[in-house]
Chains A and B, each alone.
Chain A
Amino acid sequence: MASPRTLTYSLYTHWDVVESLVPLTRDFPAFDSQQLLSVIARANPALDSAQRDEVLRQMVSSDLLRLLPRGNALELHPLVLEFVRGLTREHDLGLSEVLRARVDAIKDATARLADGVSSNQSDSMRGGAQKLSELFRQISQQLDQDRHAILELAERAKSADANLPLSRRYAEVLEAYDSYVEPMAEMMDSGPSGTFYRHLENAEQALDVAVDTLEVRGALYTHRLAMRQVAFQAKELRRLGREVLKQCSDTLLPLREELRQHNALSAAISHLLGQVRKRGLRRTLRSATLPLWQRDMQRRVTVGNEVLTLMSEALNYVPDTVAFPEEDGGSKEPLFDLVDEGSLLAALRRDAPIDNLLEWLHRQYPQWNDATTLRLYHEIVQQPQWRADQPESPVSQTLNTVRVRLHPHRILASNDPA
């Protein structure tokens, strides 16, 4: 077995290699010489093969590396491992049971101190105080290491591959919360179930009484000072405990809640999808229960292309030129016919009977417009002074511009004797 001085010196000399080896001990409890040589090469790239072998040999001979029984594997010296882990904050999370056992041990040490005070036995007092001091130191150390272990654990979970299943990513977090933070919170509860503060308080009181007793008794200053320092340690431990618990909870609780939220949401969605499969979407998710939004449609009326075409046509509208007929200045026909009704009636009376009144009128007054001829024809036949009749068969009568088909009135005689 190497001496402590040699071991420490060797650790100093090969610190780079040991520092690289310590994180690897999480995955490999022991190493073979090839692994060790490659770690040495990585830590000291300048060394050649023979020098690397020499480094390995020195580390084994100084007991930094120890040969495992029943094999050729080498392991790091456990004390060195603990020491380096403590220095590099690579500690694993401690066991809450260990913490609990140490907290419980405070009670026994306090009882021993109180016994010493009451029975006035200096050795017992000193022994109790030393035991308390040792426990406070161990508990402080463990709390500090655990704090860093938990921070690292949370970092690992957060920085792990996002594609890893959530339960795997956060497995360590959940385990740490359930197996460490919760028991620790329970232990540090200020209520009757919490032991940490109760035991610490008792220890502080016992230490204060011991300091007073030593002063009254006029004990050595160094004894009184030692006792007072243990009392300070107790006070400091109370503060540290509170701080570590808060820090651990603050670190792990959000991650745990995140996982719980994930589980709550995925459970809710699975439940709803089950309902949709059974009952249909419309009956499971009513629109009123879902997010809604109002879309104010901007009703913009625009003119369609057809209307635009019409409008452009209207804009460029050029009326068709229609040629009006030339004024017929050459027509000699008078617009109005002068009719001497008296002579007409006299002639009619003279010529009666007349077989075809229209033909007679046209023959007698061929210069008249057809309209005048026809108008007079109708006036004459309606006058009661004429006896007239109409033949069965129609005849055609050609006038100046029109041809009329009619049953022509026949003037038989005038009823008027004059």
Chain B
Amino acid sequence: MNTTVTIDLNRLPSLADLFAQFNAGKHLNRVGNHSLWAELEREQAQYEALFAALGYALKIDGRGFAWFHVEESSQNVSKTTRQLALLLMLIFEFKADAGVHLAKFTDWVIDQGLFDALIEKNEMLLKAENLADVESLAQVMRAASNYGFATADQGGWRLLPAVFRYLDRFEELARKAPDEPGDDEVEEAEL
């Protein structure tokens, strides 16, 4: 039996804004954009149906962020996501060592002082990834800011709830066997 889904576009006044955000690879955060989030949450079913029909997988996380899910991405995104993952791990390790509550990461200020401390503590590791200077780390944070993982604030940045995507993956990866068979043979090509 065919069921026809009727989508009332009058109820989706922010459709263009939302699509532009998601289609640019950005994550929408509840704390960053209340009005868009409120509409997305209110018309969640409609938006999901509409975007699915257009071939996009809209994901909405209850912790307050949403994005277009993809399984593959460009080389540039691969590089950015890897560098951002490393920076986030270093920030979280630094904070955990200081005994700070990790779940409250949205309160932290990511500024030059923190970068200096990270570089001092992890110089070898960052050098290996060509990230051992403040400007390179700031560049990674700027990219994070572009894609909705952080927001510029008081001369630095604050992390946004979309970072939970990384935290979930970190726990997931650590749970897996550390040395999977054939792990080393498959090298990823990178520009």
Shortest Cβ distance from B167 into chain A, in angstroms? 6
Interchain CB contact under 8 A, A262 and B103: yes
Interchain CB contact under 8 A, A262 and B27: no
Give Cα A395 to B180, complex, Å. 99
Task: Mark the stretch among A245-253, A287-295, A376-384 that contacts chain B.
Answer: A287-295
Interchain CB contact under 8 A, B129 and A281: yes
Contact flag A286-B188 (CB < 8 Å), given A162-B101, A264-B171: yes
Interchain CB contact under 8 A, A269 and B125: no
Is A268 part of the contact surface with B, judged by Cβ < 8 Å? yes
Lowest 10 CB-CB distances: which A-B pairs, in order? A165-B99, A287-B78, A268-B174, A266-B96, A293-B25, A295-B25, A291-B165, A292-B73, A294-B70, A290-B81
- Select which of B70, B100, B166, B171 is within 8 A of A293 by beta carbon: B70
Q: Is the interface of B mostly helix, strand, loop or mixed?
A: helix
Q: Is the interface of A mostly helix, strand, loop or mixed?
A: helix
Task: Mark the stretch among A121-129, A142-150, A270-278 that contacts chain B.
Answer: A270-278
Interchain CB contact under 8 A, B82 and A282: yes
**Other than the known A266-B96, A287-B79, A292-B77, what 18 A-B pairs have Cβ atoms closer than 8 Å?**
A162-B100, A265-B170, A266-B93, A268-B175, A269-B170, A272-B173, A275-B178, A276-B86, A276-B89, A281-B82, A281-B83, A282-B190, A287-B78, A290-B166, A291-B81, A291-B165, A294-B68, A295-B24
Contact flag A265-B73 (CB < 8 Å), given A283-B187, A287-B188: no
Is A391 part of the contact surface with B, judged by Cβ < 8 Å? no
CB neighbours (8 Å) of A275 from chain B are 178
Chain B: number of interface residues, binned into ranges:
35 or more
- Select which of B70, B72, B104, B175 is within 8 A of A162 by beta carbon: B104
CB neighbours (8 Å) of B96 from chain A are 262, 265-266, 269-270
CB neighbours (8 Å) of A289 from chain B are 169, 173
Interchain CB contact under 8 A, A162 and B107: yes
Interchain CB contact under 8 A, A283 and B74: no
Ordered by A's residue number, 18 sampled pairs between the chains whose C-beta atoms are within 8 Å are A162-B100, A165-B99, A169-B101, A262-B102, A265-B96, A268-B174, A270-B96, A272-B173, A273-B125, A277-B124, A287-B81, A292-B70, A292-B73, A293-B26, A293-B27, A295-B24, A295-B77, A296-B24
Interface code A182-209, partner B: CB below 8 Å = 1, 0 otherwise? 0000000000000000000000000000
Interchain CB contact under 8 A, A265 and B27: no
- Select which of A272, A292, A294 is within 8 A of B174 by beta carbon: A272
- Select which of B68, B85, B101 is within 8 A of A290 by beta carbon: B85
- Give the number of residues in A that approach B within 8 Å (Cβ atoms): 40
Contact flag A287-B73 (CB < 8 Å), given A269-B93, A271-B178, A281-B82: yes
Give Cα A287 to B169, complex, Å. 11
Interchain CB contact under 8 A, A285 and B82: yes
Give Cα A275 to B93, complex, Å. 14
CB neighbours (8 Å) of A287 from chain B are 73, 77-79, 81-82, 188
Give Cα A246 to B166, complex, Å. 34
Is B50 part of the contact surface with A, judged by Cβ < 8 Å? no
Is A163 part of the contact surface with B, judged by Cβ < 8 Å? yes
Give Cα A336 to B167, complex, Å. 100
Is B90 part of the contact surface with A, judged by Cβ < 8 Å? yes
Is B128 part of the contact surface with A, judged by Cβ < 8 Å? yes
Give Cα A167 to B97, complex, Å. 11
Shortest Cβ distance from B186 into chain A, in angstroms? 8
Chain B, range 41-73, C-beta contacts under 8 Å to A: 67-68, 70-73
Contact flag A269-B103 (CB < 8 Å), given A290-B81, A292-B70: no
Shortest Cβ distance from B60 into chain A, in angstroms? 15
Give Cα A295 to B74, complex, Å. 8
Shortest Cβ distance from A298 into chain B, in angstroms? 8
Interchain CB contact under 8 A, B77 and A294: yes
Interchain CB contact under 8 A, B73 and A166: no
Closest B residue, CB atoms, query A267: B174
Is A366 part of the contact surface with B, judged by Cβ < 8 Å? no
CB neighbours (8 Å) of A271 from chain B are 174, 178
CB neighbours (8 Å) of B190 from chain A are 282
Give Cα A262 to B170, complex, Å. 13
Shortest Cβ distance from B181 into chain A, in angstroms? 14
Is B35 part of the contact surface with A, judged by Cβ < 8 Å? no
Give Cα A195 to B161, complex, Å. 46
Interchain CB contact under 8 A, A280 and B128: yes
Is A258 part of the contact surface with B, judged by Cβ < 8 Å? yes
Give Cα A285 to B74, complex, Å. 16
- Select which of A262, A273, A291 is within 8 A of B89 by beta carbon: A273
- Select which of A165, A281, A296 is within 8 A of B86 by beta carbon: A281
Give Cα A390 to B92, complex, Å. 106
CB neighbours (8 Å) of B166 from chain A are 290-291
Contact flag A266-B169 (CB < 8 Å), given A287-B73, A293-B67: no
Shortest Cβ distance from A301 into chain B, in angstroms? 19
Closest A residue, CB atoms, query B97: A266
Interchain CB contact under 8 A, A292 and B188: no
CB neighbours (8 Å) of B85 from chain A are 285, 290
